Structure formats: C-alpha cells, structure tokens
Structure 1
Amino acid sequence: MAHTLSRYKKCVASKETTVAVEKKPTVERREVVALNNEISELKSRQLQLLGKDLTGMGLHELRQLEHKLDAALLAIKGRKEQLLLEQLEHSRKQEELAQQENEILRREIEELRGLYPSALSAVTPPTFYLEYHPTAQRTCSSSKDGAESQTACDGDLVEEVSDTTLQLAPPDGSGRKRKTPELETRSCNSENNPLK
C-alpha cells in the first residue's frame, strides 16, 4: 500500500507542475498582448503629435492637442532663449577678459618703451628709402640747322652729367640729410666757342 500511495503522490505532483507550467504562458501572453497594445497606442499618439494621423480625432481632441503643442512650443522657445542668454553672458565675460589682458600687455609695452627706448628702436630695423635730387644741367646751344642733337663746347662733346644720390635713413627723418652736391656747371658761350 505504501507503494501505491507513493505512486499516487508522484502522479498528483506531476499534474500540479503541468498545470503551473500551462498557467505561466497564458500570463506571459497576456502581458505581451498588453505591451503590444500600449506600443501601438504610443505610436498612434506620436503620429498625432506630429500631425500625421489625425483621422480618428474629434474637434475637442484636436483642440486639446493644439493646446499641448502650444505649451510644448513655448517651453522649447523658453529653453532656447535661456541657452542663448547663457552663451551671450559667457561671450561677454570672455570679451572682458581679453580686454583686460590687452590692457595689461599695453601697459607692459609702455613700460618697456620708457625703460629701453634705444633698445626698442634697435629691435625694429629701420625702413630705408631712396632720395633722388635732380641736378640742373646746362647744355650748349645746338647747331643752327637742328640736324645734330649733340652739342659741343670747347671742342669736346658735352657729356650729360647726372648726380644721383642714394641716402639710407629711417623713415622718421632722424637720420642726417646731406646737402645735394653742386655740380660744376659748364657754360658754353658762343663767343668763346664758335660752332661750325
């Protein structure tokens, strides 16, 4: 009899486990179905918020949706304005720091200029320029017929004398300026040198 009872207990225990196993899938199936329904409802609401699927909505629902969208738009604009103001304040602080740094550097430069005026001028090389001083020329009168362009004085051909001076000096004019040399002028008198 003990043997029969043990077999009975085993049989009853196995039936209970199969019933429990069968109950678990039905609960899970219900949860899956509920979650799928919730997902489809959320997708539908998303499409409505995007303005794409408004077919099943009445006038009252459309007004509610419009108010929700207006409130959301105002919140977005407020946040955007807040971010822009923060960026503006940050930029102003950076500008103030840059101005302070520039002022400090400007003061340091002025102090260095006051302490080392000759050293700073030696550091920056002077810019040189050319100076041209044209000289006055006198030529002898040409032949009467005008055929020859060369002139003669004292039996020699007159050479055009050009005195071009080159002077290198800094542009501020602190360098010495030379006098333009005066050329010996040759004079041709028709009395002394007759041309023929």
Structure 2
Amino acid sequence: GEDLKEIDSLKDRITKLQLRQMRMLGKDLSNLSLKEVQQQEKQLSESLLSVKAKKDQLLMEQPEHSRRQVLHTEGLTRQIYELRGFHTPSERPKPMYLEYYPIATKVSSATNGTSGSDGGCNSEFDKTYSDVTLHLGQGYHVTTFERGKQSRGSAEA
C-alpha cells in the first residue's frame, strides 16, 4: 500500500540525486540541452568561486592560527616546567640555605653479619673516598673533600 509508494518515491529520488551528482562531476552529460549545459557550467563556476574564496580565507587565517598554537604550546611548556619545579635560568631562585645530601652506603659488619647504612667508614673504599659538598648562599663555591685531598670550584648560579 502506502509503504510501497513511499519506497518507490525514495528509490526515484535516489536515482535523480545520483544522476545530479554524476552531472556535477562532469559525467553523464548526455540528454542535456545547450541551455541545461550552460546552467550546469554557471553552477559549477559559482561553486568553484565559492571554493576558492574559502581556500583564500583559510590561507589568510593560517598564520594567525599557527601563532596562537605556538603561544599555547609555549604556555603549556612553561606550566610543565613550573609544575616540575624547573625554572628558566633568569627565573631560577638562588639558594639561600644550606643543602645537605648524605650519601647512603651499605656497610657490612664482620661481627654480626648485618648490613646497614649508618655512614661509617668500614670498607677500604669508604676510607679512601668520602665526598662532601657544601652550598652556602648566593654565588657559592663548592668545596669537595676527599681523604687527603681538597678541591675547590666555583658554582655560580
């Protein structure tokens, strides 16, 4: 009944749209009169002008879009560095306090067979090399002590 009419109507519409698409692509132009071909040409010319205008608009917007992307990326990079505690050299705060980082070493005790990190000098390595670094205030110097040796270097921030 009515459903079959609707199905036939939709099939007919699909066929007409497919024919129109083929003609818009410049194919299947048979059975067109001169006037219809001229109308088709005019429509395609207007479509082409529209496409070119959109392309020109996008080309004009591209540098601004790229500039905004660069600024956004720089902002995100800055946030990452700040969140991780990094600063650019000009922003890096100079330490105003003493920093001490003990070196944990495993020491074996021959008497009880245990090992720990009490910082004692029970091995030949510990007796020979013991590094201590001291940072004081702005424009500090690094002094490293090794048994029997002392070296001093500048560590300007």
TM-score norm. by structure 1 comes to 0.37
Structure scoring higher RCO (CA < 8 A, sep ≥ 6) equals 1
More strand, by proportion: 2
TM-score norm. by structure 2 comes to 0.44
More helix, by proportion: 1
